[in-house]
Amino acid sequence: MKPLHLVPDDVNVPFLKFRKIFYILSLAMVLASAALFFTKGLNFGIDFRGGVLIEIKTDGPADISALRDNLGSLGLGDVTIQEFGAPDDVLIQLQRQDGDEQAQMDALAQVTTALGEDVTIRRTELVGPKVGGELKEAGLYSVIISLLLIMVYIWFRFEWQFAVASVAALLHDVIITIGVFVITGIQFDLATLAAVLTVAGYSINDTVVVFDRIREMLRKYRKMEIPELLDMAINTTLSRTTMTSFTTILALVALFAFGGEAIRGFTFALIIGIVIGTYSSICVAAPLLLVLRVRRKLPEDEEGKEAASKA
């Protein structure tokens, strides 16, 4: 029985030939995502915007529609109600009320009274605006620091051109993933932020595989033109890259479909991020090396001969 190959072993796609199309497509997606983020904004979860969170267990499958009507009539502003893993497990989120902590406690008491004695309150959480603001700031710093550390790692392992290309591809992945969250309106919370950082790690893994093959071929094929060499490196790693991403996405789709609301945002971010990350490793990071004028690093004796011949 032959092993499964999503991509034939002898594939030869001229990726560098279409690099301008990839640049235009990626730039358009990045600009659109940034514009949506600054105009429409993310649907931040209670972790970031503050408010009241209540988890309840109902006697039998919860009637979400009836709960929305019941709690919506309390005049407490935005109320989000969703199943939380099981049909009888429900998560209720209230927007932060005007006033101090006592105002939040009063809102919690109103909801508890409205729910009645037929439900069991499993947990309640109060998140203030200061905490939410601090979490936003910490999340931004975590993304920036992770990108800088990745750039330093790639710089030491390869050359500066590889470091710049890898960070550009990672920024591309993160911005577009966030843009998809803005478009879909799926809630963005701490779990989703963790998924975005996971995507960065997954994407750089794919990129390093391609870069490692490029470095190997730069040493091996001394007379091959750089565009042809980059195409060969991408094509020889294409089967491994696509197969890894495909099998990972299969597991994530199952989690997204059957894992419940608790991890839906997390798995959605991973699915989108892996698709975008695989695309960027092949169509963005490697072609950028041509723009950055990557060159072969010859041994010292050969560099001396080359300099003498030019003189």
Verify that 162 and 274 share a domain, yes or no. Answer: yes
3 state DSSP class of 89: strand
| pLDDT above 80: residue 1 | no
| pLDDT above 70: residue 5 | no
Q: Which residue has the tokens 């935005």?
A: 78
pLDDT band at 76 (very low <50, low <70, confident <90, very high): confident
CA distance 34 to 189: 19
pLDDT band at 26 (very low <50, low <70, confident <90, very high): very high
pLDDT in tens, 258-302: 876 667 788 888 899 889 988 988 888 888 888 887 776 654 444
Which two three-digit tokens encode residue 106? 């009063």
Residue 96, in any domain of the structure? yes
CA distance 259 to 256: 6
Verify that 122 and 137 share a domain, yes or no. Answer: no
Q: Which residue has the tokens 């009539």?
A: 73
Verify that 248 and 167 share a domain, yes or no. Answer: yes
Domain with 185 in it: what CATH number?
1.20.1640.10
pLDDT of residue 133: 66
pLDDT in tens, 86-115: 777 888 877 777 767 777 788 888 888 888
The mean of the pLDDT values for the chain is: 79
pLDDT band at 171 (very low <50, low <70, confident <90, very high): confident
pLDDT band at 304 (very low <50, low <70, confident <90, very high): very low
pLDDT of residue 118: 77
pLDDT of residue 311: 41
3 state DSSP class of 127: strand
pLDDT of residue 131: 58
* Percentage of the chain modeled with pLDDT above 90: 7
Amino acid at position 197, single letter: L
Measured CA angle at 161 (ends 237, 138), to 5 deg = 95
pLDDT band at 17 (very low <50, low <70, confident <90, very high): confident
Residues in a beta bridge with 124 = 54
Verify that 183 and 280 share a domain, yes or no. Answer: yes
Verify that 91 and 214 share a domain, yes or no. Answer: no
Most confident of 11-20, 28-37, 49-58, 260-269: 28-37
Domain with 67 in it: what CATH number?
3.30.70.3400
pLDDT in tens, 205-255: 888 888 888 888 888 877 788 888 888 888 888 888 888 888 889 988 988
Evaluate whether 63 touches 144 at the Cβ level (below 8 Å).
no
Verify that 139 and 122 share a domain, yes or no. Answer: no
CA distance 159 to 153: 10
pLDDT band at 3 (very low <50, low <70, confident <90, very high): low
The per-residue DSSP string of 23-82 comes to HHHHHHHHHHHHHHHHHT---B-HHHH-EEEEEEEESSS--HHHHHHHHHTT--S-EEEE
Residues in a beta bridge with 44 = 188
Which two three-digit tokens encode residue 97? 């009320």
Q: Lowest-confidence range among 29-33, 99-103, 183-187?
A: 99-103
| pLDDT above 90: residue 32 | yes
Q: Which domain holds residue 78?
A: 51-127
Q: Can you tell me the mean pLDDT for 158-180?
A: 87
Verify that 166 and 20 share a domain, yes or no. Answer: yes
pLDDT band at 21 (very low <50, low <70, confident <90, very high): very high
Identify the residue with better confidence: 252 or 116. 252
Verify that 142 and 22 share a domain, yes or no. Answer: yes
* Percentage of the chain modeled with pLDDT above 70: 86
